[in-house]
Amino acid sequence: MVLVFVALVAGTHLLLTRTRFGRAVYAVGGSVEGARRAGIRVARIQISLFVLCSTFAALGGILAAARLAGANQSSGGGDVFLNAIAAAVIGGTSLFGGRGSAFSALLGVLVLTSISLGLTLLSLDSSVRYIVTGAVLVLAVTVDSLSRRSRAAAGRA
């Protein structure tokens, strides 16, 4: 499963950095109106991204069911959504759009997993893991917001 995951990250990185589609994705993420004025078909890009995200979610569900050797109605519950968003933001993906990469999301996953495993090894309660994850997420969003503001002030936003 690790090899499949690394292959998906590498393929996504190549798709986003080496193709016209990837440049269009970053353009739409940075400014929908600017992308539309540049001649990019925004609706087509957004629909294709929804399809791609749904495909990745389905593949993630299949891999999770394979890892757990089964699935039920509560599979994927709990903190899955928090961890997915936190991993992307901690890795450097901007909540305001237009910035980030597949490898930065992978870095976020590694950092978040390290924090979670460390807290588990310390035998701390799951509520403490939620609090620590939330605090790290708030810190990452604050850094992202401050860096965006400084880029805007310098005229590089």
Claim: this prediction has a pTM higher than 0.85: no
Tell which phi-psi region holds residue 76, choosing left (phi > 0), alpha (psi between -120 and 50) or beta. left
- Asked if 132 and 118 count as a contact pair (C-beta separation under 8 A), the reply is no
What confidence score (pLDDT) does residue 126 get? Answer: 82
What confidence score (pLDDT) does residue 14 get? Answer: 95
What confidence score (pLDDT) does residue 28 get? Answer: 92
Q: Mean pLDDT in the chain?
A: 86
What confidence score (pLDDT) does residue 71 get? Answer: 78
Sign of the Cα pseudo-torsion (144, 145, 149, 152, in order): positive
At 89, the pLDDT band (50, 70, 90 cuts) reads confident
Rounded to an integer, what distance in angstroms lies between the CA atom of residue 58 and that of residue 106?
A: 18
What confidence score (pLDDT) does residue 157 get? Answer: 61
Residues 8-11: contacts with CB within 8 Å, 24+ apart? 8/56, 8/59, 9/102, 9/103, 9/105, 9/106, 10/102
- Out of 11-25, 70-84, 103-117, pick the least confident: 70-84
44-87: pLDDT as tens digits: 999 999 999 999 989 988 888 888 888 777 776 777 777 888 88
